[in-house]
Homo-oligomer: A and B are copies of this chain.
């Protein structure tokens, strides 16, 4: 049994001197959150903010150091901006990855081009034609980052926040199998919080997210649970009741959602799948529908009926943030004193993980890692999402078991697409990438020639981001009437 990942044992963090390299350090959303979390943490250290947009990184560094001057900043951190990835990574203990391209030149096509062919995607973040192209734009960058990590900080803990998390984390391991990389996502955290709300509402408790434990498993944004407890009390009977209740069987109209944020999760897709398969999806519905694609077939109305509002490409372009979440930070305004600033923790799991790694209280939380037993029925090495126990120098996933066959079948099918794209990326083979694209269930709703057209149009629309792919020799682009 050949090793997967972590050939070296985990590296102990020194809480008094942690060096963090932040790739994508110009981020308007994540960095300000991190700055606050760190200011309130049990660590001291340095953050190196690396970004192609050095100005944005400098703005964030300025903000970080400004926050440190506050009295309620209990920890001691220094921020530096850099335009050199090598400098940022050299000797780092922790590497954070969170980048994205200008959505107005990329994401916008991920949704709009497929829509012209009748595929009304909900968010295109992880899978489906748009998600696959997002991956194709990103994989080679992250393989290059992994190669630099191997060179500059081979034992560093690497946390990837960039979507599509499974593709990107898998690409890191494909380049550097011994990397200590973990894919991070807060969807499961949100879902646990929702279960805490349900428990508080229906049972005689006052629960919050930390009280809810689940047995979660799947692939990122297509995770499922088959056990849930609130402070040890089995929530399954409650979940079964909710699924059959009015709250679990609401129908929405476009009007109902007109003013809603696309980030609000109405859970109707989840309850429907729970009733159908007996296990509960555990990510936002807008992500789930990209995998269980039959919710996409009715256009906007069909999608809205299940309480899902498309995370439209126009919205994205307006609110460009790595996490695709609503913009809640405003660094310039804070620095300029135009907006009141209050230091508060973000609630993300990342700091808890860091503290546990440094010898603090251990935590059990969801992570994305290559499968080495945590999920049954899914191939070894595919990046899966389950809980892990995190403690001093260790992130160890739990053996979460498997799925009812029909659910396993869907997941395996998507893993085949992911692995086919990863394999294609090794040589930049667009024809092989198209094979992975063609077996995606969203794409399988198109006639065979139309699938090739859609593929070619996406290549054409995003060509400048696809330099690592061999466009010139791709058979799939021949005979398709698309100019590239």
- Pick from A272, A375, A409, A438 the residue with the most CB of B within 10 Å: A409
Stretch in contact with the other chain, from A39-47, A333-341, A394-402: A394-402
Which residues on B sit within 8 Å (CB–CB) of A451? 294
Per-residue B-contact encoding for A277-298, CB less than 8 Å = 1, 0 else = 1000000000000000111011
In the complex the two chains form, is B389's CB within 8 Å of A398's CB? Answer: yes
Per-residue B-contact encoding for A357-370, CB less than 8 Å = 1, 0 else = 11100101000000
Stretch in contact with the other chain, from A81-89, A162-170, A181-189, A442-450: A442-450
In the complex the two chains form, is B436's CB within 8 Å of A406's CB? Answer: yes
Given contacts A372-B376, A392-B213, A394-B227, contact A416 B406 (CB under 8 A): yes
Partner of A446, one of B11, B294, B439: B294
Stretch in contact with the other chain, from A121-129, A139-147, A230-238, A324-332: A230-238
In the complex the two chains form, is B1's CB within 8 Å of A403's CB? Answer: yes
Residue of B nearest to A3 (CB): B401
Check A254 for interface membership: any CB of B closer than 8 A: no
Check A420 for interface membership: any CB of B closer than 8 A: yes
Per-residue B-contact encoding for A431-474, CB less than 8 Å = 1, 0 else = 00011101101001111100100000000000000000000000
Check A178 for interface membership: any CB of B closer than 8 A: no
In the complex the two chains form, is B406's CB within 8 Å of A376's CB? Answer: no
Min C-beta distance of A328 to chain B, whole Å = 32
In the complex the two chains form, is A359's CB within 8 Å of B231's CB? Answer: yes
In the complex the two chains form, is B400's CB within 8 Å of A297's CB? Answer: no
Min C-beta distance of A309 to chain B, whole Å = 17
In the complex the two chains form, is A416's CB within 8 Å of B409's CB? Answer: yes
Interface size on A, residues (CB 8 A): 80
Check A148 for interface membership: any CB of B closer than 8 A: no
Distance in angstroms between the alpha carbons of A408 and B45 in the assembled complex: 42
In the complex the two chains form, is B400's CB within 8 Å of A398's CB? Answer: no
In the complex the two chains form, is A399's CB within 8 Å of B396's CB? Answer: yes
Residue of B nearest to A475 (CB): B275
In the complex the two chains form, is B401's CB within 8 Å of A398's CB? Answer: no
Copies of this subunit:
4
Check A393 for interface membership: any CB of B closer than 8 A: yes
In the complex the two chains form, is B406's CB within 8 Å of A420's CB? Answer: yes
Which residues on B sit within 8 Å (CB–CB) of A419? 405
Check A19 for interface membership: any CB of B closer than 8 A: no
Which residues on B sit within 8 Å (CB–CB) of A232? 10, 12-13, 357-359, 391-393
In the complex the two chains form, is B412's CB within 8 Å of A439's CB? Answer: no
Min C-beta distance of A442 to chain B, whole Å = 9
Which residues on B sit within 8 Å (CB–CB) of A435? 276-277, 404-406
In the complex the two chains form, is A213's CB within 8 Å of B394's CB? Answer: yes
Which residues on B sit within 8 Å (CB–CB) of A293? 444
Which residues on B sit within 8 Å (CB–CB) of A399? 372-374, 386, 396-399
A75-98 at interface with B (beta carbon < 8 Å): none
A11-49 at interface with B (beta carbon < 8 Å): 11-13
In the complex the two chains form, is B398's CB within 8 Å of A396's CB? Answer: yes
Residue of B nearest to A441 (CB): B444
Distance in angstroms between the alpha carbons of A277 and B298 in the assembled complex: 31
In the complex the two chains form, is A234's CB within 8 Å of B444's CB? Answer: no
- Pick from A357, A364, A398 the residue with the most CB of B within 10 Å: A398
In the complex the two chains form, is A393's CB within 8 Å of B10's CB? Answer: no
Which residues on B sit within 8 Å (CB–CB) of A236? 9
Min C-beta distance of A406 to chain B, whole Å = 4
In the complex the two chains form, is A362's CB within 8 Å of B364's CB? Answer: yes
Which residues on B sit within 8 Å (CB–CB) of A277? 435
In the complex the two chains form, is B10's CB within 8 Å of A448's CB? Answer: no
Given contacts A229-B10, A398-B399, contact A297 B373 (CB under 8 A): no
Distance in angstroms between the alpha carbons of A433 and B295 in the assembled complex: 20
A-B contact pairs, 6 of them (CB 8 A): A4-B401, A231-B359, A233-B393, A372-B402, A396-B398, A406-B435
> 6 tightest CB-CB pairs across the interface, nearest first?
A232-B392, A1-B402, A373-B373, A409-B416, A373-B399, A374-B399
Beyond known contacts A10-B234, A232-B358, A234-B393: 9 more, CB 8 A cutoff = A1-B376, A3-B401, A232-B393, A276-B438, A295-B448, A373-B375, A398-B398, A405-B420, A409-B412
